[in-house]
Amino acid sequence: MHIALHGLTEAHPNLDSFPYEATNPLSNKRVEFNEIEDVYNLLIECYDECNKEGFKSMGNALYECSRFFVNDKMIVDEKIQNTIKSYRYCKKFNCPPFPSLNETPLDIIDSFMIIDDEITQHQSRKQDG
């Protein structure tokens, strides 16, 4: 979500292929990443730690953690980015994604609710900061 809101960053312009070394934000130690699964496993660990610590905006917390060890381009999921674009289009033009609520797949409803929550939290942080 934060990549969609902020665009791609070049936090680690030299980390665009495996293997590479980067800082684990949980241990503050350098670790080697050999494949994308290593990145996803650390993101899961970060999620668990953020959840344990009670972070309210999980999306923002994970985005900030990921900046220590992965280039945004490596974790962008086109399907999710397209779902975010669909959400923004529907919101902007006040139109539903499908002809009726009954025809809207549950995963779209869930995704739109998560996106809406993340945007609301993002806007709240901007106003507070």
pLDDT of residue 1: 58
Chunked into runs of 10 residues, the chain (129 residues) has average pLDDT values of 61 74 93 95 94 83 87 87 94 95 95 90 73
For the record, the structure tokens of 58 come out as 């999980």
Q: Where are the domains of the chain?
A: 2-75, 78-128
Note the pLDDT of residue 15.
66
For tokens 């549950």, the residue is: 106
Nearest of 78, 57, 63, 55 to residue 9 by alpha carbon: 63
Q: What is the pLDDT of residue 27?
A: 96
Task: State the SS3 of the chain.
Answer: CHHHHHCCCCCCCCCCCCCEEEEECCCCEEEEECCHHHHHHHHHHHHHHHHHHCCCCHHHHHHHHHCCCCCHHHHCCHHHHHHHHHHHHHHHHCCCCCCCHHHCCHHHHHHHHHHHHHHHHHHHHHHHC
**Global pTM?**
0.73
